[in-house]
Amino acid sequence: MPWNEPGNGNKDPWSGGNRGGNQGPPDLEELLRKWSARFKNLFGDGGGGGMGRGAQAGISLAALLALVIWLASGFFIVSEGERGVVLRFGAFTSVAMPGPNWHWPYPVETVEIVDVGTIRSIEHSALMLTSDENIIDVDVAVQYRVSDPVDFLLNVRHPDTTVRQVMESTIRERIGKNRMEYILGEGRAQVASTAQTAIQEALDTYGLGVAVTAVSMQQAQPPEPVQEAFADAIRAREDEVRFRNEAQAYANRVVPEARGQAARRIQEAEAYREEVVSQARGDASRFSQLLAEYERAPEVTRERLYIETAEEVLGSTRKVFLDVKDGNNLMLLPLDQLLTGQGGDAETDSGNRPRGVNSTPMPLPNPGTRPDPRSREVR
């Protein structure tokens, strides 16, 4: 009777019997019973003597032991700083964390251990072309670590090679966008920083599961035949900066001093102006008063002015003027006062006579019509 005809009891060649309409897949015990029954049918008819039953028991025990060993081979330990990627028939299943773990043994499942704690490094040295068409020798080192073990293992076949290729292309791009002087000078750190950002963006686009931790430009210099010329140019720029700083420091020191001197001189000039103006105003006021006196008594005022002027002019001289019109009076000259009374600084000649004192009395000019008080003898 065919297995699918009515009355067959829902039996088929693959079910191994009637399991009911809605039963799930057989469990492990049912599988073991089936394998044991097959071994019995293979090595004995189930009704033989004691020899057949012993062989069947040994085979069953060996099969059970092999199954236990196979299941035990699924235990594994993940170290700290590592992750275990579990693959079932080549497809991702789960990520095993550090510690003891178990998976279905091969060929059902396999485990790939990925190191996520170690910082990996790639170095690259090459001659590159700058934006001003100069050649520069660059040594670059890139440090990175695995951030996603699943992407690192499954998305790219050779992740380390991919990181190297991305690094080389990005560095060449950044070097080609900048001038040589900028790269050799203050732009080295900036170029490395922008290169790190660009490398990380490219790796994220590929889904590589890598985090770039550092990009360092260890060396950036012109080719060896022209290194001396570039070194001279760099020293010249450094000298320019130093001279400029020195000039700025000198200007910062001198300009405030000059401004202070200018302010002081302006104040002195203003004070002098005030003094001169005040003196001129005083002289003008005194002259106005003198004019009023002169208008009231011209002769008296003129005589007084003459005497005051003579006293002012002759008061600071070292000569003595005598009126010798009569010539009968004995004149006494105060030589001690002349020598010491005016500060004691009179120079003397070889005759021990003060150079500022004339030994011959000089007569005063005849005033003519002037009053007699001018003819007084001077002692």
183-238 pLDDT tens trace = 877 788 888 888 889 999 998 888 888 889 888 888 888 877 777 877 787 788 88
Query: Which residues have CB under 8 Å from 374's CB, separation 6+?
Result: 306, 307, 364, 367
Residues in the chain: 379
Contact 50/44 with Cβ under 8 angstroms? no
Whether the ω angle into residue 25 lies within 30 degrees of 0, i.e. cis, is no
Q: What percentage of the chain has pLDDT greater than the value 90? A: 12
Contact 145/120 with Cβ under 8 angstroms? yes
Greatest extent of the chain over all pairs of C-alpha atoms, in Å: 194
Reply yes or no on whether the pLDDT at 27 is more than 70: no
> Among positive and negative, which fits the CA dihedral 157, 163, 166, 172?
negative
Q: What's the pLDDT at 378?
A: 38
Which residue is associated with the tokens 């059970």? Answer: 64
Q: What's the pLDDT at 244?
A: 93
Query: Which residues have CB under 8 Å from 11's CB, separation 6+?
Result: 3, 17, 18
**Whole-number average pLDDT of the chain:** 75
Q: How far apart are CA 270 and CA 286, in angstroms?
A: 24
Helix then strand then coil, % of the chain, to nearest 5: 50, 15, 35
* Cβ neighbours of 86 (radius 10 Å): 19
Q: How far apart are CA 9 and CA 19, in angstroms?
A: 10
Contact 159/122 with Cβ under 8 angstroms? no
Q: What's the pLDDT at 342?
A: 53
The top-level CATH class assigned to 120-222 is alpha beta
Structure confidence by residue, pLDDT tens digits, 330-360: 666 666 666 665 554 444 444 444 444 444 4
How is the chain split into domains, by residue range?
28-72, 75-115, 120-222, 230-296, 317-375
Q: What's the pLDDT at 73?
A: 78
Q: How far apart are CA 173 and CA 198, in angstroms?
A: 10
Average pLDDT over residues 359-366: 43
Average pLDDT over residues 287-299: 86
Higher pLDDT, 225 or 46: 225
Query: Which residues have CB under 8 Å from 293's CB, separation 6+?
Result: 301
Q: How far apart are CA 152 and CA 85, in angstroms?
A: 10
Reply yes or no on whether the pLDDT at 266 is more than 90: yes
**Of 87-96, 207-216, 250-259, 288-297, where does mean pLDDT reach its minimum?**
87-96
Q: How far apart are CA 18 and CA 12, in angstroms?
A: 8
Residue whose C-alpha is closest to residue 147's, from 117, 112, 122: 117
* Angle, in degrees to the nearest 10, between helices 159-176 and 188-206: 140
Reply yes or no on whether the pLDDT at 128 is more than 90: no
Reply yes or no on whether the pLDDT at 271 is more than 90: yes
Q: How far apart are CA 76 and CA 318, in angstroms?
A: 127
Query: Which residues have CB under 8 Å from 1's CB, separation 6+?
Result: 7, 8
**Of 60-69, 208-217, 281-290, where does mean pLDDT reach its minimum?**
60-69
Contact 314/374 with Cβ under 8 angstroms? no
Query: What's CA 206's distance to the chain center, in Å?
Result: 34
Structure confidence by residue, pLDDT tens digits, 299-331: 888 888 888 888 887 777 766 666 666 656 566
Q: What's the pLDDT at 272?
A: 94
* DSSP H helices in the chain: 28-43, 50-72, 149-154, 159-176, 180-184, 188-206, 227-296, 298-314, 335-340
Instruction: Give the pair of three-digit tokens for residue 281.
Output: 């105003």
Structure confidence by residue, pLDDT tens digits, 73-122: 778 877 787 788 888 887 778 777 887 888 888 888 788 888 888 888 88
SS3 for 104?
coil
Residue whose C-alpha is closest to residue 272's, from 280, 282, 284, 262: 280
CA distances from 350 to 238, 347, 355, 360 (A): 71, 10, 10, 17
Residues facing residue 362 across a β-bridge: 321
